[in-house]
Amino acid sequence: MEATAQEVDAAVRAAHEVRGSLADRAVRAAFLRGAADALEAARDGLVETADAETALGPVRLTGELARTCYQLRAFADIVDEGAFLGVVIDHPDDTATPPVPDLRRYKVPLGVVAVYSASNFPFAFSVAGGDTASALAAGCPVVVKAHPDHPGLSELVAKVLRRAAREQGVPDAVVGLVHGFEAGLELIRHPLVAAAGFTGSVKGGRALFDAAAARPVPIPFHGELGSLNPVVVTEAAAAERAEAIGAGLAGSMTLGVGQFCVKPGLVLVPSGAAGDGLVKSLTDAVSDTDTGVLLDHRMRDNFLAGIAERTQLPDVQSPVTPGAGGEHTVSAGFLTVPAGKLADEGEHDVLLEECFGPVTVVARYDDEAEARAVLSRLPGNLTATVHLSTEEAEGRGRGAEILAELTPLAGRVLVNGWPTGVAVAPAQHHGGPYPATTSTSTSVGGTAIERWLRPVAYQNAPEALLPPELRDDNPLGLPRRFNGRLEH
């Protein structure tokens, strides 16, 4: 099933040759909606195959497929609206300094996009996931590198997308699919690949990112690599609702057997009685959590090795010890450590690294300075969360100050909530400073389309030669900025 270099080349070249078939926005939108309809029609078979390969369960997978279809339709709406094209028209102005010529700017698709599927979301971040949906919406064909944890599902979903393409008169080569580690490397190096999207490990993503940069013609690589997703619980919040915060944390860190990219992996909790109450609540809730199956044995082995390494560190305790729940399963748990052990570089630094699976680290801080010292050592994250008391949330206390401290750390900052659950919405941002992602873009939400576009400006081009998007009479009815005024 592993694709050869020749097969990768054929898939990329075929996609490149048919990129013009996506030029019509109406066709693109119809294709995306048709793909959503077709996936829904094939739901039962797709979910059955996905569950057999991932053991994520039909309830979770049915919900994820619904999210995937919603995503496709949301991008169809974005294509219809046309604001993503960023049309700006400036007529000549000889009075300006320097004089302004006739300038007309909009965005065009980059070309073939390589998409690297994730293991933990076999629908939403895989063959028909956000990278594919946003790339097709931008007018870019895709070649997907299937994840080895769900190869059969990948083939089925690709067939559904290709059938939906044909029904709109689009060649099915706009969606290519290849399998295998070497195929992934061949794909990122192919001269006709114009950009890439990746969701996975820091090690794998960084290798592809470096390969994309080392090409004779470097290309954009939008990778989501890893995230600790820190949480700060203020002393006042812990005193006010310790039990609720502990139970909420347990639910978030064990959701999906801890295999979500936004799982809270480090939680700063105050020392003292208020923090003790939170830890007790967390202990009770995690103790009641069932064992679960990780996505593959490699991940299970890495999880168990990571737990063993962390629990052997001095001053690390495990009120509920995570580990092997059975021959194929793992049990959830959490570790505690004095926050001072993380404030300076040392042997405890491994606790500041993501451990993929149902575990979190609770760091007990003695004062605000100690909590700030730990935060100052963290790398970039997808999310950062603060739990405030009612009074702090109303602006009395350090709430705004803590929010400002968390903002440089993450792409999404939450107050009194939990990061698991990434809404598909226009204002969503699913990205963050490195190593959370390799770019400043998002892989969820409407602005994910911007990754696959580049601006181009025409200067003093005769009206008759311009694309319809840039003509004065606006025959396509696009939102635009016309001589400094927004037009809708």
In SS3 terms, 421-442 reads as CCCCCCCCCCCCCCCCECCCCC
Does the residue 169 lie in any domain?
A: yes
Cβ-Cβ contacts under 8 Å for 474 (sequence gap 6 or more): 480, 482, 487
Contacts of 384 (CB under 8 A, 6+ apart): 229, 230, 231, 232, 406, 407, 409, 410, 412, 413, 414
- Indicate whether 488 belongs to any domain: no
- List strand residue ranges (DSSP E) for 339-431, in order: 359-365, 381-387, 410-415
Q: What angle do CA 202, 207, 211 make, to 5 degrees?
A: 145
Q: Which amino acid is at 407?
A: T
Report the DSSP beta bridge partners of residue 70: none
Judge if 234 and 205 occupy the same domain.
no
Distances (CA, A) of 436 to 124, 226, 409: 18, 5, 10
For residue 35, CA distances in Å to 39, 84, 113, 136 come to 6, 21, 18, 11
CATH number, domain with residue 261: 3.40.309.10
What CATH number is attached to the domain comprising 126? 3.40.605.10
Q: Which two tokens stand for residue 251?
A: 């639910």
**Phi, psi for 22 (deg, rounded to 5):** -100, 10
User: Does 125 fall in a domain?
Assistant: yes
* Domain housing 367: 230-415
Q: Which of 369, 399, 415 is the last residue of a domain?
A: 415
- The verdict on residue 142 lying in a domain is yes
Tokens of 245: 């915060």
Helix (H, G, I), strand (E, B) or coil at 281: helix
Please check whether residues 160 and 218 belong to one and the same domain: yes
Beta bridge partner(s), residue 400? none
Residues 6+ apart with CB under 8 A from 443: 125, 130, 131, 197, 199, 222, 224, 430, 431, 437
264: tokens are: 């809270």
Cα 307 to the chain's mean position, in Å? 25
pLDDT of residue 325: 86
Tell me the C-alpha to C-alpha distance, in Å, between residue 315 and each of 125, 190, 296, 341: 38, 50, 31, 8
Q: What pLDDT does 1 receive?
A: 73
Q: How far apart are CA 118 and CA 259, in angstroms?
A: 11
The interaxial angle of helices 202-214 and 181-189, nearest 10 deg, is 30
In a domain, 297, yes or no: yes
Tally Cβ neighbours within 10 Å of residue 427.
8
Same domain membership, residue 235 and residue 104: no
One-letter amino acid identity for 306? Answer: G
* pTM of structure: 0.95
Answer yes or no: is 179 within a domain.
yes
Q: Which of 285, 462, 300 is nearest to 362 (CA)?
A: 285
Which amino acid is residue 444, in one-letter code?
V
Query: For residue 129, what are its two tokens?
Result: 């996931």
Whether residues 69 and 196 fall in one domain: yes
CA–CA gap between residue 139 and residue 142 (Å, rounded)? 10
Nearest CA to 74 among 472, 482, 367, 445?
445
From CA 436, how far away is CA 291, in angstroms rounded?
28
The count of structural domains within the chain is 2
Judge if 90 and 140 occupy the same domain: yes
pLDDT one digit per residue (tens) for the chain, 488 residues: 799 999 999 999 999 999 999 999 999 999 999 999 999 999 999 999 999 999 999 999 999 999 999 999 999 999 999 999 999 999 999 999 999 999 999 999 999 999 999 999 999 999 999 999 999 999 999 999 999 999 999 999 999 999 999 999 999 999 999 999 999 999 999 999 999 999 999 999 999 999 999 999 999 999 999 999 999 999 999 999 999 999 999 999 999 999 999 999 999 999 999 999 999 999 999 999 999 999 999 999 999 999 999 999 999 999 999 999 888 899 999 999 999 999 999 999 999 999 999 999 999 999 999 999 999 999 999 999 999 999 999 999 899 999 999 999 999 999 999 999 999 999 999 999 999 999 999 999 999 999 999 999 999 999 999 999 999 999 999 999 999 999 98
Sign of CA dihedral 247, 248, 249, 250: positive
Cα separation, 150 vs 146, in Å, equals 8
> How many Cβ atoms are within 10 Å of 284's Cβ, its own excluded?
14
Whether residues 289 and 314 share a domain: the answer is: yes
Shared-domain flag, residues 218 and 249: no
- CA 177/CA 155 separation, integer angstroms: 8
Residues 254 and 394 in one domain: yes
Same domain, 211 and 314: no
Residue 335's beta-bridge partner residues?
361
On whether the CB atoms of residues 104 and 133 are closer than 8 A, the answer is no
> Active-site positions?
224, 261
Establish if 238 belongs to a structural domain.
yes
Q: Are residues 478 and 333 in the same domain?
A: no
Say whether both 242 and 116 belong to one domain: no
- Do 344 and 474 sit in the same domain of this protein? no
329 inside domain? yes
Is 181 exposed, middle or buried (CB count within 10 Å of its CB: 0-12, 13-18, 19+)? exposed
| CB contact at 8 A, 428 and 82 | no
C-alpha–C-alpha distance, residues 108 and 456, integer Å: 7
